Chain A
């Protein structure tokens, strides 16, 4: 169980934004991605999660091993917290949502409609979803948005527990989570505009 990336290039709107990325994340390790806004962190993470095709290179990870969480959590406002989690647990074929509720201190809110939660509480629900997927590789895009200090601590603990269990986490974030993790600054992988080749096969660029 590794997440291995070889010479990866990713594109947004058909234009390469990052190129030549290679890294490996071993079980029990976390990798934190840094880089200024617009550099292509989200594009990279979506490509790794398989939501969009990579331009070039290889992504090696076992089948159906990746859980992805981004800015929008897929929470249904008219369903309760419990129903929201149970749905994802069913989809991923797990059935115990108690640990997830517990890890993000959601038990007192379990029977409230998700629409009545605050932004931070919704975010906690979105992150609790990761636990019920039972997937070993977590790909997280700015997971701490709208979390308070206490909730960030909860999140960091959940990551630690995940890593201790042999999991892998890839996190794009700007704040310090207090994790023992490698940091990869992707600024240097910014794609250089290629020289206009007149005889290129698809010579639009």
Chain B
């Protein structure tokens, strides 16, 4: 019994069908609990007032925006190396979720930035990097939709994802060099001292769990749809041949 067995679409469909309702339900619970807790049962920040509560949307979506790209990079590598179709389809399925996460992070950031910095947008390195990440997502999705042949599309988008990742990291450093920013340091980190007090921190963790589960649920759902679409296509092709 190895993990690779779930690269078989049939096995994947069976397993994902079983865990999808659970992840969807769990994510709904986490999001409802985390957001209500965060919005209504935490004190206002002494400096930022109630605007700080937007972190319960901003931080999880920003985390997901980057991690979804990372997940696409891993699944693209698996496709290139082991050529499991499910892996390529999972990357395809994840991209639109990633783009929405990036958009949520950008918009909530703008809403937060307006009262804090007095402006909707600044060319801060973090903000700029997210905008660039958004462009990378758009290019990736556009390439998938432009190519008819499934395997060709999977190959080309995988290589684009690889090359794009390298250039995304390069862009991040270039942007840092180009402008030192306004944005506060990361709210969460493992090695540094916490920037966020415990009262804010606990609901934030619940919200992050909710976003991760939401992503997993959406990704499974979309991958299942892609697999079904592929199967339909394959069946039609067979019918034409027979």
Contacts and interface: CB of A to CB of B under 8 A. Distances in A.
Given a CB threshold of 8 Å, the question of whether A touches B is answered with: yes
Q: Which of A14, A193, A203, A204 has the most CB of B within 10 A?
A: A204
A203 B237 contact: no
Interface string A22-66: 000000000000000000000000000000000000000000000
Given A13-B149, A14-B150, A14-B151, A203 B10 contact: yes
A191 B8 CA distance: 24
Nearest to A17: B241
Interface in A159-205: 191, 193, 198-205
Given A13-B149, A14-B150, A14-B151, A203 B238 contact: no
Interface string B64-98: 00000000000000000000110000000000000
B172 to A, nearest CB: 37
Contacts of B150: 14
B234 interface: yes
Interface residues of A, number: 13
A205 B150 CA distance: 13
Interface in B192-242: 227, 230-231, 234, 237-238, 241-242
Contacts of B227: 204
Nearest to A38: B241
Interface string B33-75: 0000000000000000000000000000000000000000000
B223 to A, nearest CB: 13
- A interface, over-half SS: loop
Given A193-B241, A193-B242, A202 B151 contact: no
A199 B8 CA distance: 8
Contact of B9 (A14, A193, A202): A202
B10 A205 contact: no
A115 B84 CA distance: 46
Given A13-B237, A193-B238, A193-B241, A202 B149 contact: no
Contacts of B10: 198-200, 203
B81 to A, nearest CB: 15
Contacts of B149: 13-14
B8 A204 contact: no
A204 B100 CA distance: 29
A119 interface: no
A91 interface: no
Contacts of A199: 8, 10
A15 interface: yes
Contacts of A204: 9, 85, 227, 230-231, 234
Interface of A: 13-15, 191, 193, 198-205
